[in-house]
Amino acid sequence: MMKDLNELAENSVTDCLTAAPSTTRVFLDFRTACIGCRLARFCTLTDVVEAYRLDKAQFFKEISDHFVSIFNKENFQ
């Protein structure tokens, strides 16, 4: 699990949004300006946590929940 979280943390915002568009809600809920930002393709999720001083555990939990949901929908339908 930690390896997966570390891998997720190093993805860019754009990669995250492309793979799981539903994560848009997480970025908005945490009041980031990532949606539509020109730098989204360069910023990692770790960069977002640091720049906005977010609760790292909560942010990554919510992001990963969206990926789990997508995985479950794809594999169990």
- β-partners of residue 44 are 12
Q: pLDDT tens for residues 49-65?
A: 999 999 999 999 999 99
Q: In this structure, what is the dihedral angle of CA atoms 61, 33, 46, 5, given to the nearest 10 degrees? A: 30
| The amino acid at 59 | F
Q: What is the pLDDT, as a whole number, of residue 77?
A: 55
Catalogue all structural domains in the chain, each as residue range(s) with its CATH number.
Answer: 2-71 (1.10.3910)
Q: pLDDT tens for residues 8-43?
A: 889 999 999 999 999 999 999 999 999 999 999 999
Distance CA 53, CA 44 (A): 14
Give residue 1's pLDDT band: very low, low, confident or very high (50, 70, 90): very low
